[in-house]
Structure 1
Amino acid sequence: MAEQKHFPFEMKELEDEEKAAFFKAYRTSTVDHRFDFVSVGPKKYKQLRRYCEEAANIYNMPVRNSDVFVVTYQRAGTTWTQELVWLLANDLDYATAKAKVLTERFPYTELFTFFDKKWEEDFLKNSEDKQMALKLIENIATPITGKLALMPSPRFVKTHLPLSLLPPSLLDTSKVVYVARDPRDVAVSSYHLARLFKIMDFPGTFKDYWNLFVKDLVNLSPFFPHIKEAWDVRHHPNMLFLFYEELIKDLPAAVLRVADFLGKELTEEQLARLCDHLSFENFRKNESVNYQSLREFGLLTPDENFIRKGKAGGWRDYFDEEMTQQAEQWIADNLRDTDLRFPHMDN
Structure 2
Amino acid sequence: MPSALEYTPVGGDCQDLLERHFITAFRHGYVRCQGTVLPVYYKQFAEDILNLQIRDDDIWVCSFPKAGTTWTQEMVWCIANDLDFEGAKVKLPERFPFLEHTMLFNYEKVLPMLPDFSKEIPRFVKDAVGYINDLPSPRFIKSHLPFHLLPLQLQRGLTGAKVVYIARGVKDTCLSYFHHCQLLEGFKGSFHEFATLFINDSLCFAPFWDHVLGYWKRRDDPNMLFLKFEELKKDLPSVIKRTAEFLGKEMSTKEINILCDHLSFEKMKTNRAVNYEEVIEINKKYKFVEAEGSFMRSGQVGEAGKKFSPDWVQRFDQWTEDKLKDTGLNF
**Aligned with residue 169 of structure 1, among 143, 150, 153:** 153
1:204 positional shift: 2.4
> Residue 281 of structure 1 aligns to which amino acid in structure 2?
E
- In the other structure, the counterpart of 2:13 is 17
| Partner residue in 1 for 2:114 | 126
> Residue 271 of structure 1: CA displacement?
1.1
Q: Aligned equivalents of 1:288 and 1:6: distance in 2?
A: 38
Note if 1:102 corresponds to 2:92. yes
Task: Please give the secondary structure, in 2, of the residue aligned with 1:50.
Answer: helix
Whether 1:155 and 2:139 are equivalent positions in the alignment is yes
How far off its partner does 1:149 sit?
2.0
For structure 1, the 5+ residue unaligned runs are 343-347
RMSD: 2.0
Pick one of 292, 299, 313 that aligns with 1:303: 292
Aligned-residue offset at 1:318: 1.7
User: Aligned-pair distance for 1:337?
Assistant: 4.7
Distance 1:33 1:63 in 2: 29
The equivalent position to 1:327 in structure 2, one of 291, 316, 319, is 316
The one-letter code of the counterpart of 2:18 is F
Q: CA deviation at 1:293?
A: 1.2
For the pair 1:203 / 2:203, whether they are aligned, the reply is no
**Identity of paired residues, percent?**
36
- In structure 2, what is the Cα distance between the partners aligned to 1:120 and 1:40? 22
Whether 1:244 and 2:235 are equivalent positions in the alignment is no
**Hey, what's the Cα distance between the residues in 2 that align with 1:250 and 1:88?**
17
Map Cα deviations across residues 44-85 of structure 1 (whole Å, 9 max, x no partner): 100111111111211111101100000100000000000111
Q: Give distance in 2, aligned partners of 1:9 and 1:53.
A: 13
**How has the CA–CA distance of structure 1 residues 33 and 19 changed in structure 2, closer, same or farther, with 3 Å as cutoff?**
farther
- Among 168, 176, 192, the alignment partner of 2:179 is 192
Instruction: Within 5 Å, give how 1:209-224 maps onto structure 2.
Output: 209-224=194-209
Distance (whole Å) between structure 1 residues aligned to residue 10 and residue 26 of structure 2: 14
Alignment map for 1:258-297 (pairs within 5 Å): 258-297=243-282
What is the TM-score when the length of structure 1 is the normalising length? 0.88
Contact 2:101–2:124 under 8 Å retained in 1:
no
Check conservation: 2:147, 2:211, Cα contact below 8 A: yes
Return the match for 1:47 from 38, 41, 44: 38
Q: TM-score with structure 2 length normalisation? A: 0.92
How many residues are treated as equivalent by the alignment?
Answer: 324
User: Amino acid of the residue matched to residue 84 of structure 2?
Assistant: D
Q: What is the Cα deviation at residue 37 of structure 1?
A: 1.0
Residue deviations 1:222-257 (CA, integer Å, cap 9, x gap): 000111111111011000000110000011111111
SS of alignment partner, residue 87 of structure 1 = helix
What code does the residue aligned with 2:204 have?
A: N
**Cα drift, residue 215 of structure 1:** 0.7
Partners of 1:325 and 1:169 lie apart in 2 by 40
Change (3 A) 1:159 1:248: same
Counterpart Cα distance in 1 of 2:231 and 2:59: 21
3-state SS, counterpart of residue 32 of structure 2 = strand
8 Å contact from structure 1 (residues 120, 137) kept in 2: no
